[in-house]
């Protein structure tokens, strides 16, 4: 599964912005056909996104398309217009049930057969942003082998339940926790909600660190200036890598000596800490950092 630290939304009807996103070095670019596009420009957005998929050099960035919701009755036309251009994946908004993922997956599979593409190559990411979606997380998370990630959408969820958004996020904390727990239970990535204050990069950094601590593997971005902050937080620092390697080396030495739990730097070390250290090194490797060169 590819690394997705920052996933940057760009309006699907703006070729210039899509091209800008493609050269930022972001892990994933999401060409948005939903909220980022006015209703009277949906048809043009499909065409612009499909043309960009064919013509724009995205480098190493993943090419994703956010569809309109199943309830909008625009989703099928979005797929028909963009599937022939072969995106790397689709982002599905307002997912509330397993069938929403499965129906999109079936249409993708038909296109893969039709074009001779590798089966399962086009991936799906589901945004959970309604009360019903939170209640049905278990069935959504296990819905389809094509599903790679659950994405938490705090703004829409708050509107759906009548909550008032606060900087602390207490009103959505249960849902934010539920999304990451279900994602990890089904071996999926967990992508955090975007920070809507474009000028508060310190607040963005704090939000991203909290997401990392909760177990999230990435975060949505809604402006290019947010990308570096997010990807920096989700990339282990040299000091973190050195500590993890030291802990793992100490663990192996104690295992060879017949010792289970041991003390390191005044702290007791057991298997959960060892697993956390190995996970950190795996994140570093996925981000293109070779732990052996640190």
Convert the chain into a string of H (helix), E (strand) and C (coil).
CCCCCEEEEEECCCHHHHHHHHCCCCCEEEEECCCCCCHHHHHHHHHHHHHHHHHCCCCCCEEEEECCCHHHCCHHHHHHHHHHHCCCEEEECCCCCHHHHHHHHHHHHHHHHHHCCCCCCCEEEEEECCHHHHHCHHHHHCCCCCEEEEEECHHHHHHHHCCCCCCCCHHHHHHHHHHHHHHHHCCCEEEECCCCCCCCHHHHHHHHHHHHHHCCCEEEECCHHHHHHHHHHCCCCHHHHHHHHHHHHHHHHHHHCCCCCEEECCEEECHHHHHHHHHHHHHHHHCCCCHHHC
For the chain, which residues score pLDDT lower than 70?
A: none
The string of pLDDT tens digits covering residues 14-45 is 999 999 999 999 999 999 999 999 999 999 99
**Domain limits, CATH 3.20.20.60, in the chain:** 6-233
pLDDT attached to residue 45: 97
The string of pLDDT tens digits covering residues 189-214 is 999 999 999 999 999 999 999 999 99
Query: Catalytic amino acids?
Result: 270
Q: What is the pTM of this model?
A: 0.92
pLDDT attached to residue 23: 96
The domain 6-233: what is its CATH number?
A: 3.20.20.60
């Amino acid at each position: 599964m590819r690394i997705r630290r920052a996933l940057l939304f760009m309006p699907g009807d703006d070729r210039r912005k899509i091209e800008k996103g493609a050269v930022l070095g972001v892990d994933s670019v999401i060409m948005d056909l939903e909220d980022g596009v006015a209703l009277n420009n949906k048809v043009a957005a499909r065409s612009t996104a499909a043309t960009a998929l064919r013509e724009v050099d995205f480098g190493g960035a993943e090419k994703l398309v956010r569809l309109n919701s199943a309830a909008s009755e625009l989703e099928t036309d979005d797929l028909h217009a963009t599937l022939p251009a072969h995106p790397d994946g689709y982002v599905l908004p307002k997912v509330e049930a397993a069938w929403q993922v499965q129906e999109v997956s079936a249409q993708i599979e038909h296109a893969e057969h039709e074009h001779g593409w590798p089966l399962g190559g086009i991936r799906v990411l589901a945004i959970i942003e309604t009360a019903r979606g939170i209640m049905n997380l278990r069935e959504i998370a296990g819905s389809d082998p094509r599903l790679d990630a659950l994405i938490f959408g705090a703004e829409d969820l708050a509107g759906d339940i009548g909550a008032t958004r606060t900087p602390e996020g207490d009103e959505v904390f249960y849902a934010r926790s539920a999304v990451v727990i279900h994602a990890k239970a089904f071996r999926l990535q967990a992508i955090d909600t975007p920070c809507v204050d474009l000028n508060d990069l310190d607040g963005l950094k704090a939000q991203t660190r909290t997401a990392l601590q909760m177990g999230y593997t990435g975060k949505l971005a809604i402006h290019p200036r947010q990308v570096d902050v997010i990807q920096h937080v989700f990339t282990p620092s040299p000091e973190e890598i050195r500590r993890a390697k030291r802990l793992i080396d100490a663990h192996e030495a104690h295992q060879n000596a017949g010792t289970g739990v041991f003390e390191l730097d005044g702290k007791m070390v057991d298997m959960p800490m060892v697993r956390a250290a190995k996970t950190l090194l795996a994140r570093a490797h996925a981000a293109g950092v070779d732990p052996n060169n640190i």
